[in-house]
A and B are shown apart, each in its own frame.
Chain A
Amino acid sequence: MTTEVLQVIRSDGSVQKKLEPTLSEEMLRKLYRTMVQVRALDEKGMLLQRTGKIGFYVPSGGQEASQVGAVAALDAGDWLFPTYRDPGMALWRGASFREMLAHEFGCAEDRSKGRQMPNHYAFREMKYVSISSPIATQIPQAVGAAMAAKYRKTKEIVLTSMGDGGTSEGDFHCGMNFAGVYKAPIVFYCQNNQWAISVPLSGQTASESISVKAKAYGFPGVTVDGNDVLAVYSAVRQAADRARAGGGPSFVEALTYRMGPHSSSDDPKRYRPAAEEEEWRQKDPIDRFRNYLKKQGIWTEAWEKETWDGVRADLNEATKQVEALGPPTISSMFDDVWSSIPPVLQEQKDSLIEYLKKGELKDLGGAFPL
């Protein structure tokens, strides 16, 4: 038994008409541009880490179509419970490079006030929920938000993202099970990028696919070509429509590939063959979509250059701006633990401020020595 893999754009850019979504040219261009933004942010992020400007980076190259196609299929008011490999979901919803980089640098302007490692974004107004490092914890949380939306009788739905590794966690089971029982308006979205750091999919599950697991929880699951932005869009759109109409949860598995290391601290040469990476490089999601846009008569050499140049210029400008920003004040360390600071913590804050007056503790702003 094998699970069918839905595809819209064949590798040469031609189309399986039956599944092709009807999207405006403007939307198609935005999809492409956002995928380019993700790729460019990745290049910049790794460079900033390698040059010691930021402490860490989580690349998501190879998964541009998976991220962007999924978020594009939602309404702007829908909730996202993402992973640290979903910057494209924030960029699609309008996060600026300055906001993304302020977070990578952990500077005072960072929405999270420098409290988390890079790539753990949070954007309240975009309903892009604060990201955790522990794997799959967001899954039951997303189900809870969906249950709340159902109780409040809004038309909002929830999408939670996860990797293939995340599907091995207990919270995956809890979340899927709760959602099935309560018919929660949620889309479970797995970007199966084949590797959880050094463990391949075969070391993660003996299941024929990940999407087939949905059946045991009482709702449908499909597998799509995750490097095909339109296939992702169509499958997530269908799942989102179903949730919004009161049909309950769905599962979408996007087959993709983590082209880079797990993080800037990881070296994939230790555990996976270069030939496999090369094989997937041939399936590059941006190349695929470019072929489609060419066939549609939308893409031109000039537009390609304009898009990349524009994105890179934005990114360089944002980098320059963010590099000039300072770190959060040391005393801000004590903010936001509680809604208001209790006396015991206030004493600790006062004692640190008192110590700072001696001038022994220097501000480390921006310095991450290699």
Chain B
Amino acid sequence: MATLTLLQAVNDGLRTEMRRDDRVVCLGEDIGINGGVFRATEGLQKEFGAERVIDTPLAESGIIGTAIGMALYGLKPVPEIQFMDFIYPAFDQIVSELAKFRYRSGGQFPSPVVIRTPYGGGIKGGHYHSQSAEAYFCHTPGIQVVIPSTPHDAKGLLASAIRGEDPVLFMEPKRIYRSIKGEVPEGEYTVPIGKAAIARPGTQVTIVAWGSMTHIALEAAEKAQEEKGVSCEVLDLRSLVPLDKAALLESVKKTGRVVIVCEAPRTGGYAGELSAIIAEEAIDSMEAPIVRVTGFDTPFPYTLEHAYMPNTGRILKAIDTVVNF
């Protein structure tokens, strides 16, 4: 097994699936000769040619629209939206078209497109290079929302997404593209979509997170153990839609205390949905209120991003709240 960064694992995943299946094509802005602005598609055009690794004009609605047409035709397109902050011109194509094609045609026209997009803050990107827009898409039936937090999962989940029959929004935590390394099997393997992972087992508090926040949650869990002797379980959801509700409920019923970490703005965020599920289905097991640690209801700030984003300190404070309730 090789030790790869999350970014290298994405690249390896794309290459592996493209070698495996000639229906797989990539398209997006600067993904060809330049290998993507983050280099996620580096070397792919050289290996697979410009017909399968397509540099597109600068138009996100066009990228997703054409990808849908390719999928209807029978290909497995993997479009890239350069930054999730630029996905909104394609919102109509994703929400009204991609997510609804199978349903609205009575199953006649499935359109399995896998949209890859780097998301999230922590890279000094200001509000147009830092957003976590998962909530908009989790609210749309018909598109899976998958967010890996490790190189191993990035490659395996991407393979599942590409081999699957449903549209997928595959959000890549760019903050940890290069900082998180891990062992990644060579060649083909898959990680199933819809299964959460226990990133750290624990007994007293469940910390729910996804993407780059998983690592902040792990740091906080470590400190909670070291500094206060509190045992935290970190649940990495890996996919928000479909949600592994069973794993979520199992963990919170065990610990009776939950902190949900979400770097997106608080109001209407996915942490709220998780809170509601726990309240509806596990209230009897809860020893303390459900506490959210989230971004604030402001646009994502540039200079002050360190104060905006959930950090270990804020998570530790939340752990205190639920432990001392």
Contacts and interface: CB of A to CB of B under 8 A. Distances in A.
Interface in A315-361: 335-339, 342-345
A174 interface: yes
A204 interface: no
A246 B73 CA distance: 18
B324 interface: no
A111 B106 contact: yes
A339 B164 contact: yes
Interface in B63-107: 64-75, 77, 89, 92-93, 96-97, 101-107
Given A122-B108, A147-B70, A343-B242, A175 B57 contact: no
Interface string B1-41: 00000000000000000000000010000000000000000
Interface string A122-158: 1110000110101001011111111111011000001
B62 interface: yes
Interface string B106-125: 11111000000000000000
A130 B105 CA distance: 6
Contacts of A178: 56-57, 59, 62, 66
A152 B69 CA distance: 14
A177 interface: yes
Contacts, number: 155
Nearest to B113: A144
B70 A174 contact: no
A336 B164 contact: no
Interface in A201-237: none
A342 B67 contact: no
A122 B142 contact: no
Nearest to A181: B57
A222 to B, nearest CB: 24
A78 to B, nearest CB: 12
A113 B105 CA distance: 8
Contacts of A85: none
A42 B325 CA distance: 68
Contacts of B104: 112, 115-116, 120, 122, 130, 132
Contacts of A339: 102, 110, 164-166
Contacts of B109: 122, 124, 129-130
Contacts of B62: 140, 143, 171, 174-175, 177-178
Contacts of A86: none
B223 interface: no
B285 interface: no
B130 to A, nearest CB: 25
A307 to B, nearest CB: 31
B51 interface: yes
A94 interface: no
Contacts of B107: 113, 335-336
Interface string B137-168: 00001100000000000000000000011100
Contacts of B97: 132, 134, 137, 141
For chain B, the bracket of interface size reads 35 or more
Contacts of B106: 110-113, 115, 122, 336
A310 interface: no
A79 B68 CA distance: 14
Contacts of A113: 106-107
B156 to A, nearest CB: 19
Chain A interface size, as a band, is: 35 or more
B266 interface: no
B61 A140 contact: yes
Contacts of B110: 339
A67 to B, nearest CB: 20
Contacts of B101: 130
A225 B71 CA distance: 35
Contact of A151 (B71, B75, B243): B75
Contact of A140 (B69, B141, B194, B242): B69
A336 B166 CA distance: 10
A170 interface: yes
Interface in A65-88: 79, 81
B72 A336 contact: no
Contacts of A145: 69-70, 72-73
Contacts of B242: 338, 342-345
Contacts of A142: 69
Contacts of B141: 337, 345
Interface in B260-277: none
A115 B166 contact: no
B245 interface: yes
- Which of B69, B72, B107, B141 has the largest number of chain A CB atoms within 10 A? B69
B25 A151 contact: yes
A151 B69 CA distance: 13
Contacts of A129: 72, 109
Contacts of A140: 61-62, 64-66, 68-69, 93
A124 B108 contact: yes
A342 B87 CA distance: 26
B59 A177 contact: yes
A338 B98 CA distance: 12
Contacts of B52: 151
A89 to B, nearest CB: 16
Contacts of A335: 107
A144 B93 contact: no
B103 A144 contact: no
Given A124-B109, A144-B70, A145-B69, 6 more contacts: A79-B73, A144-B71, A144-B77, A174-B65, A177-B57, A343-B242
Interface of B: 25, 51-52, 54, 56-57, 59, 61-62, 64-75, 77, 89, 92-93, 96-97, 101-110, 141-142, 164-166, 194, 241-243, 245-246
25 contacts: A111-B106, A111-B108, A112-B104, A112-B105, A113-B107, A115-B104, A120-B104, A124-B108, A140-B68, A143-B62, A144-B66, A144-B70, A144-B73, A147-B70, A151-B51, A170-B89, A171-B61, A171-B93, A174-B57, A174-B59, A177-B59, A178-B66, A181-B57, A337-B103, A344-B242
Interface of A: 79, 81, 110-113, 115-116, 120, 122-124, 129-130, 132, 134, 137, 139-149, 151-152, 158, 170-171, 173-175, 177-178, 181-182, 335-339, 342-345
| Cβ-closest 3 pairs across A and B | A144-B69, A140-B65, A174-B62
